[in-house]
Amino acid sequence: MAQQEPFERISVSQAEAKRQAGVTLIDTRELDEYADGHAAGAPLMPHMSIMTRADELEQIAGGKDQPIMFICAKGQRSAVACEFAAALGFSDLYNVEGGTEAWIEAGLPTETPE
C-alpha cells in the first residue's frame, strides 16, 4: 500500500481563497524566479532551506498546527517543501498544484519586489 502524502494538493483558485482567508502562502522557488514575480503576499523560502528555517516558518505561520501553503514554479519543489515541513512537525500542509505558472495564468494577484 502506498504511503499517503503528508499534505493536500490544492488548485490555485483554492489557494487564493485560503490566502484571502489569512492562510500563509510560502514561495519555495529561488530568488531570481521570485524577483520576476510571485503570488501576492508570499514570502520567499527556497525549498532546500526549509529544514534549517523551522523556527522562522513556525513564526510566519503562527504555529506548527497552523495551515501553510507552499507554491513553486509548477508544483514539484513545493511538494518537497511540504514533505520537509511535515518532517519538522507541521501538520496542516497544502501544495499548490500548477504553481506560480498556473497562478499567473489564472490572473490571480501577483507582485514583484521593489
Q: Which residues are catalytic?
A: 72
**92 DSSP 8-state letter:** S
